[in-house]
Amino acid sequence: MKKITLLLFMCLAFSLSNAQQTISFETSEGYASGNINTQNGWVTTGDGTGGFIMNQVVSNEQASDGSLSLKIDTEGAFAGQANPIVGAFYNYVTAVPHIDATFSADMFIDTFDSANTSDYIFGFVNITDGVFVTYVRFTFEGNISVLADDGAGTIILDDTMVDWTPLTWFNVRIEMTGGTNVDVFIDDVSIYSGLVATPNTDIEQVRFAHDNFAGFAHIDNFRTNDEPTASVNEFDTNTFTHSYNKDTDHLKLTSSSLPISGIELFSVLGQRVMKQTLSRNDELVNMSNLNDGIYLAKINIQGKTETIKILKQ
């Protein structure tokens, strides 16, 4: 069957302000279930005949918060593509400055099981120049890679050596600073620091896309320069302490006034190795089933988090 390559770049309409915003795809924000093309500044990939693909939709099948999310899915009328160009793209009213910008989204990606499943990207485009500034790529093999500069002016797909977890919600945050630097976080844990592929270039469009082999992904709480911060951080007024006892293999957590809501443990490669719901001011977390090494613990207290480093030995 003849492979039809979908249009990569196209003329796009713009809407909405981009200074600081969160898009959760809820009806209260003006979204409706079904094809996202033309909804609130979103477009989908061109079909090569002047129209647009149809299977990139606002869906009620999954949501990290609320009841709706963006679902990007395979298009049966087309074969698998050489690159992730099939999806939904959000156009900013004015370009987001490259000097200091933060983007994040909650993502839920279908399982990977063979070379026939899809790669997915969370990508940042300057349409005027027709280039990606950078993107984070979730491969069919389970790896996370970043489109970057190798430091010598060559654009590479740099493997973070961190895997993504299928069929579970996780948060991806990309911070761009100085026009050249990019840092990537998964669930607030740093997994990558490097150079953007195209430096000193503003972002005019964000793309959630796949290469149309098989599978789907959901996106929710897509934020631009709108990471939640507290005017008064609970950790500033609530005394929180921790200690690890190597004899008992327990991590002790103590909160002076607010109950501890939960803990997530990550390896230094960013892989989550434990998630546990907690409810008391004093908690003991059993780490005996984990290998010796360094772990990052994300502690949740009343919806606010603090990340600590634990040496298990």
Domain ranges of the chain: 21-224, 234-312
pLDDT beyond 90 at 235: no
Instruction: Tell which CATH architecture fits domain 21-224.
Output: Sandwich (2.60)
Q: What Å distances lie between residue 156 and 61, 135, 159, 196, 220, CA to CA?
A: 35, 11, 9, 10, 28
Paired strand residues for 313: none
d(CA 133, CA 120): 16
CA–chain centroid gap for 17, Å, is 21
Q: Using one digit for the tens of pLDDT, what is the confidence trace for 238-257?
A: 677 888 888 899 999 988 88
Torsional sign, CA 153, 154, 155, 157: negative
- pTM, rounded to two decimals: 0.70
CATH architecture, domain defined by 234-312: Sandwich (2.60)
Percent of the chain at pLDDT > 90 equals: 58
Comparing 6-15, 67-76, 234-243, 288-297, which segment has the lowest mean pLDDT?
A: 6-15
**Is there a common fold for 21-224 and 234-312?**
no
Three-class SS of residue 28?
helix
